[in-house]
Amino acid sequence: MKRQFLKAGFAGLLISGFLSHAAWSQSDPTGKRRITNTYAITNATIFASPGQPGTKATILFREGVIIGMGPNLSLPKEAQRIAGDSLFIYPGFIDGASSAGITKPKDPERPKDFVSSNPPDEIAGITPWRSATDQFSITGNQVDDWRKAGFTISQVLPDGGMIPGKAAIMILGNSGSVNVIQENTALAANFSGARGMYPATAAGVIAKFRDVYHNTTLALDHSRLFASTSGVKRPEMTPTHTAMAAVVQGQIPVIFKAETDLEARRAIALQREFGFKLVLAGLDNYETVIDLIKSSGTAVLIKLQVPDDKAIKNQKSDSVTTATKAQYARVKEAYDKALKQASLLEKAGVPFGFSTLDAKPGDAMKALRTMIKNGLTEKTALAALTTNPATILGIGKMAGTIEKGKMANFVISTDSIFKEESQIKHVVVDGYIFDYEVKKKSVNGDGKTENEPAAIAGQWDYTSQTPAGSSGGELIIAKNGVKYTGTITYADPSGNGKVTAPIKNVSVSGKKLTFQFDVNAGGMSLTVDITGEITGNAMDGTMSVGQFGSFPLTAKLTTPSLTL
């Protein structure tokens, strides 16, 4: 008896890695098992799909599937009830192209006879056989952050060179589950060249793309001839050809990362040349190609980000010449135009989704609100987060709206989702409930909220995690009237020891602290942006270094300054 029990527990443990918790029938040594997998959120305001008004109803789901929705549902005994009276429920957001949870695989070792003018595909960044599933971890970088921002499903792209591999659709659910919805959903491609070898530039990448595409077509022709005729020499399908076949045969699209209008045109030109299905991802500057996107029928996933307003804010009103003022005006004009792009895409009738590539999770909702302020309708904003990407990804049957039979993926907020004061309280993914802290309004009735600036002055110790490892230093912030000044120390990138640099543009809004400092690396000056959220004496944030990416950063206020 005892032995059997142990065995079962062991089997349960084994299975837990692969199957959902429903398979468990015995004791749970991990303590992670849920009491029930049936939930009911009662009497909430439900926005079942974009454009539909909210209706008061109860929603019932089991094992990640919506099994009922309505005002008078009879709830089974095992359903855990969550009072939803003050809550607003939206379909879970879908990210059309993401790098969340992806870790770049190690570069393969170069062969002894390596020649940079003719490198093997694998080293030159042509790895269409790779799958994002092999690079994805549900506990990986930024998955939690994007889930917190409302994203429940994500098409993740593998990291790598010009053709890094195949995308996969993931559910951003429980870490104990297998979270792949669909593998090999698209071929990821971009215009980045390989470092120090062919193809090194966008021009080389485009030429190499043509080469790979043509030769896959020919290899397939060869294979067909081999299959139908005797006396034909055997085909030699390389891993590249085999993996490209699905694109050439029209089974899956190419998802091209294209940030600018020129990149979009280049991808569309290749699409026209070869006829593959095309999805553009990460569009940032696309105003001039909206007509082309429409006429070519290209699916688009625009970057979920709006340009930062630093250049606008730093414009000085006095002591500048008329010529500089005119230039300021053009930057302002460009900024205003950039904010309007999404609404122009809507006006053109292009059903777009979002991509979170290179975007910041913490700013997602702010970006959406800014787009809405600049003409995007709330209905289209929600569609771009739900139904549109579901269609582009081909998962409209299971996700995108709140309907009986669809996956239990919800964003649950404290108010109508796009309202400034609305906060996301829960995100339900695959029937798992993730809870988030909601900042309460203050009770003293003076209209002020907890959004009063946090006390930041004092001495902080910080630690940052970059691919180069963990590093840290001291951050000193002093309040100077209404302004903040200070210094930061960091490990000298060009040698040993620490460097101290002044910090600038310090701003505190509620619990959010942002500031910048300049790093001198090899004669090049880089601006480092720090954004963090302050809870008590701790700060949890990110450090973004130019185009090199964003990295986690934490800090502790070791010596709060008492003299403000």
The separation between CA 189 and the C-alpha centre of its own chain, rounded to angstroms, equals 17
Give CA separation, 478 vs 347, 505, 562, in Å: 48, 13, 11
Q: Is 152 helix (H, G, I), strand (E, B) or coil?
A: strand
- Decide whether 259 or 430 has the Cβ nearer to other proteins: 259
> Could you tell me the smallest distance in angstroms from the CB atom of residue 374 to other proteins?
12
- Decide whether 93 or 515 has the Cβ nearer to other proteins: 515
> Could you tell me the smallest distance in angstroms from the CB atom of residue 85 to other proteins?
43
Three-state SS string across 314-376, please? CCCCCCCCHHHHHHHHHHHHHHHHHHHHHHHHHHCCCCCEEECCCCCHHHHHHHHHHHHHCCC
> Could you tell me the smallest distance in angstroms from the CB atom of residue 201 to other proteins?
4
> Could you tell me the smallest distance in angstroms from the CB atom of residue 370 to other proteins?
12
- Decide whether 161 or 458 has the Cβ nearer to other proteins: 161
Cβ-based neighbours of 538, under 8 Å, separated by 6 or more: 554, 555, 556, 557
- Decide whether 195 or 404 has the Cβ nearer to other proteins: 195
Interatomic CA distance for residues 305 and 308, integer angstroms: 9
- Decide whether 56 or 272 has the Cβ nearer to other proteins: 272
Give CA separation, 504 vs 107, 310, 371, 538, in Å: 37, 12, 28, 21
> Could you tell me the smallest distance in angstroms from the CB atom of residue 214 to other proteins?
4
> Could you tell me the smallest distance in angstroms from the CB atom of residue 204 to other proteins?
4
Strand segments (E) across 172-285: 180-182, 187-189, 254-257, 278-283
**CB 197 within 8 Å of CB 122:** no
- Decide whether 83 or 232 has the Cβ nearer to other proteins: 232
> Could you tell me the smallest distance in angstroms from the CB atom of residue 326 to other proteins?
6
Phi and psi at 192, nearest 5°, equal: -85, 130
**CB 167 within 8 Å of CB 132:** yes
> Could you tell me the smallest distance in angstroms from the CB atom of residue 264 to other proteins?
11
- Decide whether 118 or 470 has the Cβ nearer to other proteins: 118
- Decide whether 3 or 233 has the Cβ nearer to other proteins: 233
Interatomic CA distance for residues 316 and 292, integer angstroms: 38
Instruction: Sheet containing 180-182: give its strands across.
Output: 93-98, 151-156, 168-171, 180-182
Interatomic CA distance for residues 170 and 393, integer angstroms: 11
Buried b (16+ CB within 10 A) or exposed e, 115-152: eeeebbbbbbbbbbbbbbbebbebeebbbbbbbbbbbb
- Decide whether 3 or 234 has the Cβ nearer to other proteins: 234
**CB 273 within 8 Å of CB 296:** no
> Could you tell me the smallest distance in angstroms from the CB atom of residue 312 to other proteins?
8
User: DSSP secondary-structure letter at 287?
Assistant: G
User: DSSP secondary-structure letter at 285?
Assistant: B
Interatomic CA distance for residues 546 and 561, integer angstroms: 31
- Decide whether 269 or 438 has the Cβ nearer to other proteins: 269
User: DSSP secondary-structure letter at 441?
Assistant: P
- Decide whether 338 or 545 has the Cβ nearer to other proteins: 338
- Decide whether 322 or 563 has the Cβ nearer to other proteins: 322
> Could you tell me the smallest distance in angstroms from the CB atom of residue 92 to other proteins?
31
- Decide whether 8 or 338 has the Cβ nearer to other proteins: 338
**Both tokens of residue 75?**
């709830």
Phi and psi at 287, nearest 5°, equal: -55, -40
- Decide whether 93 or 213 has the Cβ nearer to other proteins: 213
> Could you tell me the smallest distance in angstroms from the CB atom of residue 194 to other proteins?
8
Select from 548, 559, 530, 523 the least CA-distant residue to 472: 530
With tokens 């970006």, the residue in question is: 367
User: DSSP secondary-structure letter at 125?
Assistant: T
> Could you tell me the smallest distance in angstroms from the CB atom of residue 414 to other proteins?
32
> Could you tell me the smallest distance in angstroms from the CB atom of residue 207 to other proteins?
4
**Both tokens of residue 346?**
């809507």
**Both tokens of residue 1?**
């008896």
Residues that bind other proteins (CB under 8 A): 115-118, 196-204, 206-207, 210-211, 214-215, 218, 221-222, 225-226, 229-233, 235, 261-262, 265-266, 269, 272, 288, 291-292, 294-296, 307-308, 310-311, 314-315, 323-324, 326-328, 330-331, 333-335, 337-338
> Could you tell me the smallest distance in angstroms from the CB atom of residue 250 to other proteins?
16
